[in-house]
Amino acid sequence: MSHLIPLNRETAHHLLKQFDSLNPGSKEPTNRDGIQQALLLVAGQSDYQMLGVCADDLDQGIRALAGYAKALSYSPNINLEPVEGSVYIKFNPTSAQCYASPYDGEHRGVLVSCQSSDDTDINEMYGHLPLDLFEHSV
């Protein structure tokens, strides 16, 4: 059952900022549908979104990237060289290319950087959002 809530830009921003790596507290979403809805709302108010995935391994990172990319209507070229251990994957939608590199940081999740040429649109980084937020969408 869907748990969609009425969202505006301010509410969506506030909901997503709970995952800010500088914001202490629980990072487990209580309303996945609401988080998805909030991300899609802010993404729709930006020109494009860059994605960064911090995962335990390449397979987990690829699954997360594929889910988020599909939800945001992107088709990345996910042809990555093998990486052992924890990984950081960056996706640039302007080229549809991504790359993976070893990652020794403690954070896990997806960073979504909303980019806009107009200052009145959204220019903001959200995350680390849950890796599996859109996994069922793949």
- The enclosing domain of 124 has a CATH number of 3.30.360.10
Which contiguous run of DSSP H or E holds residue 63? helix 58-71
Chain segment 1-24, per-residue pLDDT in tens:
445 567 899 999 999 999 986 665
Give me the numbers of helices (H) and strands (E) for the chain, helices first please: 3, 5
The predicted structure's pLDDT at residue 67 = 97
Q: The domain containing residue 17 runs over which residues? A: 9-137
CB atoms within 10 A of CB 12: 24
3 domain-assigned: no
Q: Which pair of structure tokens corresponds to residue 103? A: 């990652």
Q: Which pair of structure tokens corresponds to residue 126? A: 């959200």
102 domain-assigned: yes
87 domain-assigned: yes
1 domain-assigned: no
Q: Which pair of structure tokens corresponds to residue 124? A: 């903001």
The predicted structure's pLDDT at residue 55 = 98
Q: For residue 111, which amino acid is it?
A: L
Among the listed residues 29, 26, 5, 36, the one whose alpha carbon sits nearest the alpha carbon of residue 112: 36
pTM of the model: 0.89
> In whole angstroms, what separates CA 93 from the centre of its chain?
13
Chain segment 119-134, per-residue pLDDT in tens:
889 999 999 999 999 9
4 domain-assigned: no
2 domain-assigned: no
Number of domains the chain is built from: 1
30 domain-assigned: yes
123 domain-assigned: yes
Alpha-carbon distances of 134 from 21, 40, 103, rounded to whole Å: 20, 11, 22
